[in-house]
Structure 1
Amino acid sequence: MSRVLGMQQSTLPFRYLGINLFKGRNRPLYYMHLLEKVEARLQGWQWKLLSPGGRLVLIKHVISSIPLFTASSVLLPKQTERSLESKFANFFWGMDSGRPKRHWISWRNLCLPEAEGGLGVRSLATIQQSSSAKLLFNLLRGGSLWSDFMDAAYINGSHTTTSLTWKRMQQARDFVDQHIQITEEAVIWTLAPLGDFTTATAYEALRPKSWCQLVFRLHLETRNPLEDLNIYVEVASSIPALP
């Protein structure tokens, strides 16, 4: 059949449309091509006379975009996620005698908006959470061949095993349930004015918050005691522990 159709025959794992298809455990080995692409970019820039602002622009608009397509399709392993962000951070702070310079601020804090003391770099972990929420929203909204298949397989079907895509959508279940309104006509995303899901609104709701912003919300934006308690918990979890 491969000869008649002119198609190449292969075995798992292999890459199709830029995504590695595999069976079994989601291994960091399947995403080495992302690290290699980032490293190839960095090697061309590492010895150029770039200011910190120039490095920041390249991180925001070039190298941080390399894993986005894969991250929106498949949940990257934590090891791959940490390796990518480590490369981003090393490039931003620079090298000295072949070794990374000291990182004066954690990558998590650099991912905060500028108004909260960060540099507005997008967090890869939050991007993946937003993509998981988008998949679940699209499933609940329906109207596509993919949603019909997932509904038949995992909601109304009797699949004994679950895919990695289904598992990542279930991880976003609580967040999506908090921000949707289901009517007879449509599924509405309450964070967006027009009711359509946007990754930007999901990212803003999911991203790490600085404790300063949480205190501001506590004093100026809430009047409900339960909401106050929830924000107190967020503040307590976001303030670094004293040594």
Structure 2
Amino acid sequence: MAFNPAKCQMVFYKHVSSTHKLWASDYTGFTTTQLPIKYLGVLLITGRTKQTQFDEVLNKISNLLNRWTQTFLSNGGRITLLKSIITAFPAYILQMTTIKKSTQIRLERLFNKFMWSGQRQQMHWASWRKAAKPQIVEGIGFKDLDQLLQVNFCKLWIKFRTQNSLWAKFMWGKYCKDQHPTLVLRKFGDSRIWVKMLKIRQIDETNYSWELGNGEINFWLDNWCPKDWLSAITNIYNSELKVADCWDGDNWSLGKLASILQPHSITKVVWKQFLNQFTIDQKELTWDRLVNYWWHWKIRKYAAIPFTIAWFIWMETNKVKFEEANPNVGITARNCVTYLQKMINWKGFPNISNSCTSIKSDLIQVIRVYWRTPNHPIVKFNTDGSFTKNGAGVGGIYINHLGKCLQYFYTPVLATDATETELIVVY
């Protein structure tokens, strides 16, 4: 690789001695300089993002707007200019650095003023945030600066994960070391670029999948399955397991896969944790031979146990399937134990608990659930059931991507308890 010394410069850290600076300059033939400097059209500075990095972009946009005869342009002409030319100016610099909120507001005001009035005094019928949305959601189709910044950081994350450049290897060695990138947490002193990359990590990881290649990808933590990446049901798993470790030559090793996946069956793990809390005869009352020994469950008045466990496992699997959440065996098992503890305390169920204590207060968690609108053209259908001593009823509502109600319904039903009401809603 050859360099042109006349076009190359070196920037040193402030604590580098003058002797080392002189030696490096004599050895390479490069001149020394200090920040800020301009490189590939971008002003490089030290520290946080500053307004001066975008002064040139703001001046270029202002000069263009002043030169054009906006008075003679129709609204369609101004929209075309904004889409093709003006909004492209900040796109390049956003690939190199972040943008200050104040600078973003100034750019958006310039764009919005030109779109609605040009040089004339005219009412602004909508803000730039409303206009910078796809036409399918009642926008004009401009590219939002926040979206551009997010897309650029998604590209950076993909380049970092592929490890095909010196920059990617440097970032891996500095922030990940021996840890998988999806498990790295933010630390004090991390750069702003790395912090932004961590914020879009979860979104980016779900938008692409890995090819198997030589199998040098993580079995549990990389998205290589056709539908979704594998995630361990329990917290005990080998985070360094490679796909190639599960191969026997060029084919999958069924024995290795069985040893990895079988112990993590959600039903067996929940049943094992349940047995740690309750004492039952495991010779006849087992989960594997539930059908054959159902009579033994019934005569001992334990029939509620398998139904309770099956119900909470069914709820967890539905959450994984329809809400794209990772399975949490700990919460599922705790729900089973809690429900049976209530039955023992309040319903006269046989006391098979290993301890006299009930639910611990520190295990109670409050989980905030967010309802989000679906993507166009999907329509989201939510249902629920209600049961009281006066009667039961079920209902549902259809909502589109704009959050508007399309249709709703409610009807009374015949049910004996809340569980039956919820089952009626589903079926």
TM-score (norm 1): 0.71
How much has 1:160 moved relative to structure 2?
A: 7.2
What letter matches 2:199 in structure 1? Q
**2:82 counterpart of 1:59:** yes
Q: Structure 1 unaligned runs (5+)?
A: 191-210, 226-230, 237-243
Distance 2:83 2:89 in 1: 11
Judging changes above 3 Å, is the alpha-carbon distance between structure 1 residues 70 and 189 closer, same or farther for their aligned structure 2 residues? Answer: farther
After superposition, give the CA deviation of every residue in 1:76-119 in whole Å (9 maximum; x if it has no partner). 1121112111111110111466xx53211121221222232221
Deviation at 1:11, TM superposition (A): 2.4
Partner-residue secondary structure (3-state), 2:140: coil
Show CA shifts across 1:184-213 (max 9, x none): 4377799xxxxxxxxxxxxxxxxxxxx997
* Aligned position for 1:101: 122
Greater relative CO, 1 or 2 (CA 8 Å, sep 6+): 1
Q: Which has the higher helix share?
A: 1
1:217 aligns with 2:415: no
- Determine which structure has more spread, i.e. the larger CA radius of gyration: 2
Q: Distance in 1 between matches of 2:145 and 2:87?
A: 8
Amino acid at match of 1:117: E
| Cα shift at 1:14 | 2.1
> Aligned pairs, how many?
207
Question: Whole-Å Cα distance in 1 between the matches of residues 154 and 86 of structure 2?
Answer: 24
Determine what percentage of the aligned residue pairs are the same residue.
Answer: 25
Query: Which of 168, 175, 184 pairs up with 2:196?
Result: 168
Pick from 39, 45, 52: which aligns with 2:68?
45
**Counterpart residue type for residue 149 of structure 2:** Q
Q: In 2, distance between residues paired with 1:179 and 1:64?
A: 26
- Greater displacement, 175-184 / 71-80: 175-184
Describe the shift of the 1:134–1:90 C-alpha distance in structure 2 as closer, same or farther (beyond 3 A).
same
Question: 2:150 — aligned with what?
Answer: 129
Superposed displacement of residue 75, structure 1? 1.2
Cα distance change of structure 1 residues 26 and 96 upon mapping to structure 2, 3 Å threshold:
closer
Q: Let me know the Cα RMSD of the aligned residues.
A: 3.7
**Alignment of 1:155 onto 2:176:** yes
Q: Check conservation: 2:79, 2:115, Cα contact below 8 A.
A: yes
Task: Describe the superposition over 1:19-40 as per-residue Cα deviations: whole angstroms up to 9, x where unpaired.
Answer: 2211112122321111111111
128 and 141 in structure 1: CA distance in 2 versus 1, 3 angstrom threshold: same
Aligned to 1:202: none
Which residue does the alignment assign to 1:86? Answer: 109
Q: Give the partner amino acid of 2:148.
A: I
2:156 aligned partner, one-letter code: L
Q: Conserved in 1, the CA contact under 8 Å of 2:71 and 2:119?
A: no
What's the TM-score once normalised by structure 2's chain length?
0.42
Q: Counterpart amino acid of 1:132?
A: F
Distance in 2 between the 1:74 and 1:135 partners?
11
Q: CA 1:42–1:139 in 2, change beyond 3 Å: closer, same or farther?
A: same
Q: Distance in 2 between matches of 1:34 and 1:50?
A: 23
SS at match of 1:73: coil
| One-letter amino acid of the counterpart of residue 49, structure 1 | F
Question: Aligned partners of 2:72, 2:47: CA distance in 1, in Å?
Answer: 45
Q: Secondary structure at the match of 2:209?
A: strand
- Contact kept, 8 Å, 1:116 with 1:213, in 2: the verdict is no
Distance 1:61 1:18 in 2: 20
Distance in 2 (alpha carbons) for counterparts of 1:180 and 1:223: 29
2:94 is paired with a residue whose SS is: helix
**Is 1:25 matched up with 2:48?**
yes
Could you list the runs of 5+ residues in structure 2 that have no partner in the other structure? 1-21, 179-186, 226-371, 385-397, 404-427
Shift of 1:52: 0.8
Q: Which residue of 2 is the match for residue 120 of structure 1? A: 141
Q: In the aligned structure 1, how far is the partner of 2:81 from the partner of 2:374? A: 28
Q: Tell me by how many angstroms 1:156 deviates.
A: 0.7
* Superposed CA offset, 1:161-192 (max 9, x none): 322221221121221233343464377799xx
Quick one: distance in 1 between partners of 2:70 and 2:78? 12
Contact map agreement 1:46 1:91 (CA 8 A) in 2 = no
Deviation at residue 68 of structure 1 after TM alignment: 0.9
Name the CA distance, whole Å, in 2 between partners of 1:215 and 1:179: 17
1:144 aligns with 2:159: no
Residues of 2 paired with 1:130 and 1:181: CA distance? 17
Runs of 4+ that moved beyond 6 A: 1-4, 186-190, 222-225
